[in-house]
Structure 1
Amino acid sequence: MSATPTGPSVPADQPAGGPSASAGVALPDAARPDRVVPTWTDPVAAQASEAVGGPWGRHAVIGRALFWTPLRVCLLFTTSVLAVAWVKQAPCSDGNWAGSVQYTHLCYSDTVPLFGLHGLDTLAVPYLDSAVEYPVLIGALMLLAAWLGRGYEAAAGAVGLLPQVPAVQSYYVATCLLLSLCALLTTRAVLGTSGRRPWDAAMVGLSPLLLVHAFTNWDLLAVALASLGLWAWARRRPVLAGALLGLGVAAKLYPLLLLGALFFLCLRAGRLGAWLRAAGAAAVAWAAVNVPVAALAPENWSRFFRLNGSRPADPDTLWNIALTVSDGRLFDGPLAEGETPAVLNAVVAGCLLAVAAAVAWLTLAAPVRPRVAQVAFLLLAGFLLVNKVWSPQFSLWLLPLAVLARPRWRSLLLWQATEALLWVPRMLWYLGTDNRGVEVEWFFLAVTVRDAAVLVLVALVVRDVWHPDGDVVRTSWPGVDDPAGGVLDHAEDAVTLRPPGAHRAPLSSGVRPEPTSAG
C-alpha cells in the first residue's frame, strides 16, 4: 500500500536543532515552508551550516527577506566565484606569456592567443574578414568583446584617470565580463527551472568547475542560452524554448542534444505537437543567425564543420588514450597532417547512436516518465564520454543539467573536484618535463578518474530514473512530477516500452510508486 505524504519528512540523519526532534517525523502542513530547505534534506548542506549556527530551525521564518532572496544570494555566490576565477586568470590577461606563465599559473585561455590570430586587434569581422573555427554566435561574441575593448581604449585616452592597458588585455577583460553575464544568466535560469528548490542554483554559483573554466573559452554563452531554453520550456513556452535552444546551437552544437531529449519525453507523453513547435522555432532561430553568414562567406562559415570532421582524437578522451597505448595502430593507423580519421569517425558515430538508443529506451521503459533534466544529462554525458573531442571547458555543458538532474552536493562536488584537478596535470603536461612538467601518464590517469566520476554520476541518475521513489526532486515535495517538464509535467503516458503488469502508480498524484506483484 502507498500513502500520500503530508509534508517533507525529516531525514534519519537530521542533526540536532533541525526541524524535528524525532527523525522521520513529517511536518504538518501549517509548519511546512514554501520551499525545500537544503539543511533539512542534504547532509553536506547540513554539515556546512554548522559553521553559521547549524541547520535552519523548525520555527524560523522563511520567505520574508526584503533583499537577500534566494535569487540574490545565488547570484552573489556566482559573482564571488567569478571574482576568484578572474584573480586566477589575471597573470595571463596582458598576453605576455613569457616563461610559459599560462601553464605555470594554470591560467591558459583560448581567448587571448586568438585575439591576434583572428585579427580582432584590428576589428576584423569573423568569417567575413578572417576564418574562425567556431559557430557564428561565438564569433559575434568575440567581435563584441573586441569592440568593447577598443571603446575602453578610446575612453582611457580621453580620460586621464583610466589606466592604459594593452589592447589584448582590454579585450580579455571585456570577454570575461560578457562570460560572467552568461554565468549569472545560467544561475538565474537554473533557479527558475528548479521549482520549489531554488537553493539548488547555489550548486551552480559555488561550482569548482565554474571557478576553473569560466574564462577558458566562450562556452558559457551556449550554456546560458541552453539553460534559458530549458527555463522557457519549464514555463510552458515551447516556441521561446526552441528559439533559445536554436541560438544555443548557433553557439555550440550540444543544445541539439537537449532537443533530442525533449523528443524522447514528448514521444512518451504524446506531446509531439509541443516538440514540433520547439524544433521549428529552433530551426528558424539557427537559420536566422547562420544563413546570412553562410551566404556571404561560405568557405569560412563551413570551416567549423570541416574541422570537426578532420580533427583527430582530443588529448583528454578515451580514444586518445587507446591510440597512445597502441602506439597509433588502432582505427586509422598513422595519419598525415590534416588527414580525416574516417575509421575513428565511424566508430564514434556508432557509439553516439548507441548512447542515443540507450537513453531513448530508458526514457520509454522507465516505471515513471523521467524528468527533462535527467534525460538531457544522460544524453549529454554519454555524448561527451564517447565523443572524440572533450575540450576542458566542455564540462561546463553538464553543470546546470547535473544540478537539475541530481541536486545532491556530495556527488556533484566529487565529480567537479575531478574536473578541476584534471586541469593541473593537463597544464603541467603541456609545460613539458624539461620545464618541471609531468609525463603524459599522469594526465591520462586524471582523465580516467574524471571519466569514472562522470560514469558514477550517470549511474546515480539512471538509478533515480529506474527507482523514482529515490529521486530527491520528486520526493522532496508532495505531488511533484517534473518542475522543468513544462507541458510534460503531470502528463499521462502515451507510448511506453514497459511490459504488461509492470505498472507503477504515477508520482504526479503525489503517491510514491510501488511495484505490483505478479498474479
Structure 2
Amino acid sequence: MAPQSSGGRGGGTRAVSPAPLAPDLRSADDRDKPSRNDSLASQLSTVVGGPVGDHALIGRVRVWTPLRVLFLFTLIFLALGWASKAGCIQQTDGPDGRPTLDWHNGRQYIAMCYSDTVPLYGAERLDEGAFPYKKQWTEETPDGGTETRYMEYPVLSGLYQYLGMQIAKTWDASPLPGALQVVIYFNVIAVGLALAWLVTVWASAMLAGRRIWDAALIACSPLVLVHAFTNFDAIATALAATALLAWARRRPALAGLLLGLGGAAKLYPLLLLGPIVVLCLRADPMHRVPGFGSGLMRVRDIGSGSALRTWVRRTPARIDLLSLRPLGAAAVTVAAATGTWIAVNLPIAVLFPDGWREFFRLNTTRHADPDSIYNVITSFTGWQGFDGRLIHGETPAILNLVSLLLFVAACLAIGYIALTAPRRPRVAQLCFLVVAAFLLTNKVWSPQYSLWLVPLAVLALPHRRILLAWMTIDALVWVPRMFYYLGLDRKGLPEQWFTGTVILRDLAVIALCAVIVRQIYRTDEDLVRRDDVDDPVGGVLDRTPDPLRPWLPELLRPGRIANRYDAPLIRR
C-alpha cells in the first residue's frame, strides 16, 4: 500500500504519511489517562511534552507501550535500589591483609545500606556450601548458653539462597572477573529479586486493566529504593501478584498453585485465600437454579418478591456449596494452594525435620520486634509486655495469643464488611485489608514486609497522592531505624526517634484501610469501578450477580439490596 498524501485545492505542498495507515484505527478511549485526570501526573507529564492530546489515538504506539514504559521505570528504580545497597559490598583489607567487607565502625548503618542477604551468607553457613535445613551449628545465646540452629527461612526462600550460593561459588571458581564470594552472592540474589519485582509489576499492570498506568506507582515506589534488596520478599510478591492474575483470568487451580508456592517462600500469600473464599461465599450461588418451575432460572431473575419466596420454598434446605460455581472455584484454589505448599515442604520436613521446624520454632519463641506496635508501647511507656521480662528462647505465650486473637478479630470484621456491604467489595480491597491487619497486629513487622502492601494498595486504592505519601513515610522509617541500630555510643539516635516514625507509618496504613472501607460502602468514590467496571481482579466474581443469599442469617446479608437484581450486568 503506497503512502497516502494530501494537499490544498491549488496543488500546494503535499504532506506524505510516514507509513501505511494501520488497518485498525480504533482508539482505546476507555483507558485511564492520568495526565488529564490527575493533577500530579499532569504536572509530571510536562517533562515529556505535557498531557495526552484530546484527539490522540490511545493504544496505537508500537514501541513505547505502557508496559514497556513501566518496565523502564522499574529498572531505573531497581538500579537506584541496588546503588543504595552498594555501600555494603565494598571491600577493604582486613588485619591479616586479606580482602574483607568494609563493615567497620557501623558503616552498614551510617551508609544505610544494610541488607540481610550479606550477613546471612555467613550466618546461615551458606559460605560453607552447606545444604539448608540439613546443616546445623551451635550459637552462643545472650544469657551465656548455647543453642542448636538451622536455616531460619521457609523452604522456598531457603532453597533460593542455596541456589544463589551455588551460582556464586561457581562464578568464583571460574576465570570470570571476581570479587569476594559474598559480594558475588549478593549480586546473584539481587538479579533474581529484580526479575521477581519486574514480574510483580507486569502482573499488577495486567490486573489494573484500563488503569494500567497505576502500576507506575509500584515501579516507582520509594519502598523499592529502600527494600527491594533488603531481604527475599520480592519472590513472594511476584508469586502473589501472578496468583491474583491467574484468579482474574479464571484459572483457580493455577492461582492456588502460585499461592502455595508463595506461602512456601513467605506466609502472606496464603492470607489472600481468605478474601477469595469470603467473596465467593457472598457471590451468586448459582448462575442457573434448579427446582424452580419446570425448568431453570437465573438468580438475577428471582431477586425479590414471590419468585424468591417460591425458589426458597422449593429449594432443599441443604445446599452443596462445592457445586456452586464461585465457591467451587474457591475450593479448587484452596485445595491447590494447600497441596502445593505440602508438596514443597514435605520432602524437607521428612528428610530434615529439625531444620524444617526451625522457621516455626523461631517465630514462636521470637519476642516483639522493634517496630511492632507492642514494642512501640514499651518504648514510650516502659511497659514490660504481656509476659513480663523473658530470657532468650523463652516463648512469649501471652503475646502470641494476643496477636493471634487481634488478627482473628480483624479478619472477622473484614469478613463482616465483605458480606454486608451494599455491593460486593473488590478482591484487591479485601486482600489489602487482610494483609494490613496481619502486619498491624503481628509481633513482627520487618521493614521489607511493607513491600507486600505495595501492589495490593495500588490495586485497591489508586489515589496517587495518598499512596505516595504513605510509601514515602514508610520508606523514611529506614533512616531512624539505621541510626537507632548504630547505637548511642556511636552517636546514633534514641529508640523513641525510631518508634515515633513507626507510629506515623502505622497511622498511615490505618488511614489507607479507612479510605478503602469508606469506598467499599460508597462505591461511587471508587476510581476502579467507574465507567461500568466491576472487579478487574474478580475472576469468576467479576460481573457476577449479587444475590440475597437466603441461606445466610439476616445479620450477614448485604444492606440496601432492593431492586439490585434488575440492574443490567456490568461490563468489564
Fold match by TM threshold 0.5: yes
Structure 1 stretches of 4+ moved >6 Å: none
Per the TM alignment, residue 329 of structure 1 is displaced from its structure 2 partner at its CA by: 2.9
**8 Å contact from structure 1 (residues 39, 56) kept in 2:** yes
Distance 1:154 1:62 in 2: 52
Distance 1:309 1:35 in 2: 48
1:420-431 matches, cutoff 5 A: 420-431=475-486
Q: Which of residues 92, 98, 110 in structure 1 aligns to 2:88?
A: 92
Q: Which of residues 107, 110, 135 in structure 1 aligns to 2:113?
A: 107
Residue 129 in structure 1 maps to residue 166 in structure 2:
no
Structure 1 equivalent of residue 209 of structure 2: 195
Distance 1:82 1:326 in 2: 39
**8 Å contact from structure 1 (residues 230, 241) kept in 2:** yes
1:330-409 matches, cutoff 5 A: 330-409=385-464
Residue 459 in structure 1 maps to residue 459 in structure 2:
no
CA distances 1:165-213 after superposition (whole Å, capped 9, x unpaired): 0000000000100100100000011011111111111111111011110
Structure 1 equivalent of residue 539 of structure 2: 486
**8 Å contact from structure 1 (residues 480, 508) kept in 2:** no
Residue 65 in structure 1 maps to residue 79 in structure 2:
no
Distance 1:384 1:504 in 2: 39
Give 5+ residue unaligned stretches, structure 2.
Answer: 1-25, 91-100, 137-149, 286-325
Paired AA for residue 54 in structure 2: R
Q: Which of residues 355, 365, 383 in structure 2 aligns to 1:310?
A: 365
CA distances 1:32-66 after superposition (whole Å, capped 9, x unpaired): 61421111232221222133332111112221222
1:135-174 matches, cutoff 5 A: 135-155=154-174, 158=175, 162-174=176-188
43-52 or 83-92: bigger deviation: 43-52
For the residue of structure 2 that corresponds to 1:165, the secondary structure is coil
Residue 52 in structure 1 maps to residue 48 in structure 2:
yes
Structure 2 equivalent of residue 297 of structure 1: 352
Distance 2:173 2:390 in 1: 48
CA distances 1:381-403 after superposition (whole Å, capped 9, x unpaired): 11111111100000001011001
Distance 2:334 2:28 in 1: 40
Per the TM alignment, residue 486 of structure 1 is displaced from its structure 2 partner at its CA by: 0.4
Structure 1 equivalent of residue 291 of structure 2: none
Distance 2:522 2:36 in 1: 22
Structure 1 equivalent of residue 95 of structure 2: none
Distance 1:255 1:163 in 2: 38
CA RMSD of aligned residues (A): 1.7
- TM-score normalised to the size of structure 1? 0.89
For the residue of structure 2 that corresponds to 1:197, the secondary structure is helix
**8 Å contact from structure 2 (residues 245, 537) kept in 1:** yes
Per the TM alignment, residue 500 of structure 1 is displaced from its structure 2 partner at its CA by: 6.4
For the residue of structure 1 that corresponds to 2:61, the secondary structure is coil
**8 Å contact from structure 2 (residues 217, 458) kept in 1:** yes
For the residue of structure 2 that corresponds to 1:474, the secondary structure is coil
Residue 268 in structure 1 maps to residue 264 in structure 2:
no
For the residue of structure 2 that corresponds to 1:273, the secondary structure is helix
Per the TM alignment, residue 139 of structure 1 is displaced from its structure 2 partner at its CA by: 0.5
**8 Å contact from structure 2 (residues 422, 559) kept in 1:** no
**8 Å contact from structure 1 (residues 149, 170) kept in 2:** yes
Distance 2:120 2:385 in 1: 33
Per the TM alignment, residue 467 of structure 1 is displaced from its structure 2 partner at its CA by: 0.4
Structure 1 equivalent of residue 320 of structure 2: none
Aligned residue pairs, count:
475
Larger radius of gyration: 2
Q: Relative to structure 1, is the Cα distance of residues 500 and 469 closer, same or farther in structure 2, using a 3 angstrom cutoff? A: closer
Give 5+ residue unaligned stretches, structure 1.
Answer: 1-29, 512-519
* Between structures 1 and 2, the one with greater strand share: 2
Paired AA for residue 507 in structure 2: A
Q: Relative to structure 1, is the Cα distance of residues 306 and 469 closer, same or farther in structure 2, using a 3 angstrom cutoff? A: same
